Amino acid sequence: MPIAGEERPLRSPAAPQQVRAPPAPLGKPKLRFSGRIPGAAVGLSDGINTQKPSLMADSLEQHLPPPPISKSDAAFLEDGVEFVWGAEGVDVAELNNLFEKVGFPRRDPARLAMALQNTYRTVWVRAARKSRLARQGALLGFARATSDGALSAVIWDVAVAPAWQRGGLGRALMERLTASLVNDGISTITLYAEPNVVALYEKLGFVADPDGIRGVAYQSKLARQLQMTNGRRR
């Protein structure tokens, strides 16, 4: 599927800074895109595996099938929404507001802007025209992926404004972002999901805890305590 635009070139800072992906949420299922949409081939999982060398050799000749696009861009445009590729044009304050509306933590604006600059692929949805639900150009949905550009990618921050949920935008974002990664030849695509949306991702070809592999994340004891406390409050 052709991509409407590529990410803008990164600046060369005088002192390179390390930008970390968001920490893997504790207690959230890890899913991997398998391409297992009826009749499709199965991808290769990531992780430590005694059979991985031979699996890797086999995978060199295999490619994941991209997920089908269930609703075209033209059809969404008729509904008043439009897909945009790349982080250019994303307002950090508006993105933080979207995160807050869907229950995600707000991010430090400067670090969020840096994260967007260093993201491998970004796709977002904006209102193509003014309506009773949104002003023209308003941010309605968002998703991004970090990647080495060759072997693996992780999808982060999939969010759709509450007033626009249940209209297929979340599915559409995932279909397009996953397809673009698959079309780049990336064979291991993972994400961490809220338990209540795992079923949606499974319909898109993702599998939960593939091959018994579970993710681990480095987090301080205080960060874990805060995360567990916040989880209990919800």
* Catalytic positions: 201
Count of residues in the chain: 234
CB atoms within 10 A of CB 152: 17
Assess contact for 62 and 41: CB atoms under 8 A: yes
Q: Is 3 left (phi over 0), alpha (psi -120 to 50) or beta?
A: beta
The amino acid sitting at 184 is D
